[in-house]
């Protein structure tokens, strides 16, 4: 077949040349955002050397076409909007609103003090309480957050990293109070600390101690919370920080390799914990490259788990992932245009086979989303799921010469990066290398926009005079005070002697290699606060000092 095409290709190229002489192409060259050159057309010639086996069937190694045999014909992806602001009362209201509107999973956004392990009344928390997420100081807040939400029915994703073990302990304790057993709990904690050092910045402890907390969670959950995804290895923030799609795949999987290696080194059996690893990717603007990215990541991870770590359980080789549309592509100019950006990004995630999806809201370059804008974002997913037929066959772009070619190319280029990171001693040692690569890409992206080489509607093309939307969400400025009052009351009413003893226990165990999870659970049940526990750990572990790279 390819021979036959070669002859026809020559004629086609002649035609193209003649045409170009008369009417030059729109751009001097075409490339994806990762810099992969794009041809005028793709044919089977571009797939030479790729066997159908490397593609396989959905639900079969190497899972290029999806992790389940029937994908969305069985069940749609989980529609999971990332939400949280102000107090736990306000966020509980937003959760119930979203569930009433047909959302199928929860996703908690915590405020920065919570993410960095400070109580709301800490000096460093001033001005930040309840701003980018909900403020959680103790189990009391967590009880309010999930009030009237049955934790045996709904799955919850919590975007929490450095203090993930403590928030998971609170979740387990709240469930128990609701009468729900740990074994019944379904959900995910992000728990991806390497990405924090590389791209997002909400770290607390130095890498070694952070990795120990992570392996404690792996070990505890493997025994006690078997349906919990113990980590969501996140490329999302790497991409938001400015990486390309290729770098997103490479750096995320390199982080994944580091977690698996740490757990294996801690004596865990790979097939015992690896089935509960999950991933989190970004859906950016370059539509076909994004679809290919998801497929390439899945295939690359399957090979890594099988060939590098000797996994035997098929589930250990399946890369399951959540996707969020790209916040950094949203513009403050003409915010309604963001609705379209999000829709295409969401479609790329679905065509790429995501297991769960968050769609961003149109007003997010201006503020946290309002009720009306988050509703449109959720409806966007529902249109893709129920109206346009995108979920009716598995991997609909499988076999597209273009998409298969891009998938191969992303896999190849990401593989080269992973090799480079291996040579540097693995992801924890390559943090600065990754930061530098990301910054270089971010700077190039900005320059391309300023040169007009990259079009952003409303920013560098088709600008217009416009008024800002009026219904933006404002977080109540008194939330910090309210949380501080609540804490004062809590500290006055709880059994402080017991709390002090439990904090001492944590301090003692932190210095050994014993699993910390049971101690965290006991402490939060007695209303020890997040800040108190993290301060004890800071005393034992120390704090991470950032290297400044740009």
Partner 1 sequence: MSGKPIRVLVAKPGLDGHDRGAKVIAQALRDAGMEVIYTGLRQTPDQIVGAALQEDVAVVALSCLSGAHMHLFPAVVEGLRKQNADDILVLGGGIIPDEDIPELKEKGISEIFTPGTSTQTIIEYIESKVG
Binding site for partner 1 (CB under 8 A): 112-113, 115-116, 118, 124-128, 131-132, 196, 200-202, 240-242, 328, 331-333, 365-368, 439, 442-443, 446, 449-450, 458-459, 468, 472, 474-475, 477, 546, 548, 550
User: 429 vs 436, which CB is nearer to partner 1?
Assistant: 436
Find the shortest distance in angstroms from Cβ 134 to partner 1.
13
Rounded CA separation 529/535 (Å): 10
Find the shortest distance in angstroms from Cβ 478 to partner 1.
13
Find the shortest distance in angstroms from Cβ 331 to partner 1.
6
- 255, 313 contact by CB (below 8 A): no
3-state secondary structure of 110: strand
Find the shortest distance in angstroms from Cβ 464 to partner 1.
13
User: 332 vs 490, which CB is nearer to partner 1?
Assistant: 332
User: 264 vs 472, which CB is nearer to partner 1?
Assistant: 472
Find the shortest distance in angstroms from Cβ 114 to partner 1.
10
| Residue recorded with tokens 């050397």 | 49
Q: Is 487 exposed, middle or buried (0-12, 13-18, 19+ CB in 10 A)?
A: buried
Find the shortest distance in angstroms from Cβ 443 to partner 1.
5
| Residue recorded with tokens 């926009």 | 449
**172 prior amide bond cis, ω within 30:** no
User: 345 vs 407, which CB is nearer to partner 1?
Assistant: 345
Residue of 425, 327, 444, 412 whose CA lies nearest to 82: 327
User: 210 vs 229, which CB is nearer to partner 1?
Assistant: 210
Sequence-ordered strand ranges (E) for 138-249: 156-159, 187-189, 228-229, 231-234
User: 314 vs 332, which CB is nearer to partner 1?
Assistant: 332
DSSP code at position 334? S
Q: How far is CA 289 from the centre of its chain?
A: 18
User: 476 vs 485, which CB is nearer to partner 1?
Assistant: 476
Phi-psi label, residue 267: left if phi above 0, alpha if psi -120 to 50, beta otherwise: left
Question: In 266-395, where does DSSP find H-type helix?
Answer: 270-273, 287-303, 314-317, 337-351, 371-386
User: 235 vs 275, which CB is nearer to partner 1?
Assistant: 235
Rounded CA separation 40/30 (Å): 9
Rounded CA separation 354/376 (Å): 20
Find the shortest distance in angstroms from Cβ 131 to partner 1.
4
The distance in angstroms from the start CA to the end CA of the chain is 50
Find the shortest distance in angstroms from Cβ 215 to partner 1.
24
Residue of 540, 509, 513, 512 whose CA lies nearest to 266: 513
Find the shortest distance in angstroms from Cβ 233 to partner 1.
18
Radius of gyration of the chain, Cα coordinates, nearest whole angstrom? 24
User: 405 vs 435, which CB is nearer to partner 1?
Assistant: 435
């Amino acid at each position: 077949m390819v021979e036959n095409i070669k002859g026809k290709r020559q004629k086609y190229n002649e035609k193209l040349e003649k045409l170009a002489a008369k009417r030059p192409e729109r751009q001097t060259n075409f490339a994806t955002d990762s810099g992969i050159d794009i041809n005028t057309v793709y044919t089977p010639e571009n797939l030479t050397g790729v066997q159908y086996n490397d593609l396989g069937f959905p639900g079969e190694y190497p899972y290029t076409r999806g992790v389940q045999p029937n994908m969305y014909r069985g069940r749609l992806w989980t529609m999971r909007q990332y939400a949280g602001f102000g107090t736990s009362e306000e966020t509980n209201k937003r959760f119930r609103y979203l569930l009433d509107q047909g959302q199928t999973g929860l996703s908690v956004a915590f405020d920065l003090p919570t993410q960095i392990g400070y109580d709301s009344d800490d000096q460093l928390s001033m001005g930040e309480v309840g701003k980018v997420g909900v403020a959680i100081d103790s189990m009391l807040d967590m009880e309010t957050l999930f009030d009237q939400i049955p934790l045996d029915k709904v799955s919850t994703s919590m975007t929490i990293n450095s203090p993930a073990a403590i928030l998971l302990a609170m979740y387990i304790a709240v469930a128990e109070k609701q009468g729900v057993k740990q074994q019944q709990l379904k959900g995910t904690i992000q728990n991806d600390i390497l990405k924090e050092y590389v791209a997002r910045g909400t770290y607390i402890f130095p890498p070694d101690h952070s990795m120990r907390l992570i392996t404690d969670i792996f070990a505890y959950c493997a025994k006690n919370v078997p349906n919990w995804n113990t980590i969501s290895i996140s490329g999302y923030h790497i991409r938001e920080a400015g990486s390309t799609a290729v770098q997103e795949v490479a750096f995320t999987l390199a982080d994944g390799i580091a977690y698996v290696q740490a757990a294996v080194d801690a004596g865990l059996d790979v097939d015992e914990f690896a089935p509960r690893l999950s991933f989190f990717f970004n859906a950016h603007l370059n539509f076909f490259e994004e679809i290919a990215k998801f497929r390439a990541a899945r295939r690359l991870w399957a090979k890594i788990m099988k060939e590098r770590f000797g996994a035997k359980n098929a589930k250990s080789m399946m890369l399951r992932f959540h996707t969020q549309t790209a916040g950094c592509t949203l513009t403050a100019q003409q915010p309604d245009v963001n609705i379209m950006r999000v829709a295409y990004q969401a479609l790329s995630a679905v065509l790429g086979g995501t297991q769960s999806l968050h769609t961003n809201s149109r007003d997010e370059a201006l503020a946290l989303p309002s009720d009306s804008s988050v509703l449109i974002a959720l409806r966007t997913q529902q249109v893709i799921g129920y109206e346009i037929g995108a979920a009716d066959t598995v991997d609909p772009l499988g076999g597209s010469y273009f998409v298969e070619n891009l998938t191969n190319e992303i896999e190849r280029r990401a593989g080269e990066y992973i090799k480079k990171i291996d040579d540097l001693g693995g992801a924890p040692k390559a943090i600065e290398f990754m930061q530098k690569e990301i910054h270089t890409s971010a700077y190039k992206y900005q320059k391309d926009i300023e040169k007009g080489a990259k079009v952003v509607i409303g920013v560098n093309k088709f600008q217009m005079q416009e008024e800002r939307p009026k219904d933006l969400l404002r977080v109540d400025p008194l939330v910090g005070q309210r949380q501080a009052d609540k804490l004062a009351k809590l500290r006055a009413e709880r059994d402080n002697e017991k709390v002090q003893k439990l904090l001492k226990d944590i301090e003692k165990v932190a210095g050994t290699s014993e699993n910390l999870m049971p101690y965290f659970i006991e402490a939060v049940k007695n209303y020890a606060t997040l800040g108190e526990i993290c301060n004890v750990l800071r005393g034992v572990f120390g704090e991470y000092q950032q290297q400044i790279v740009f």
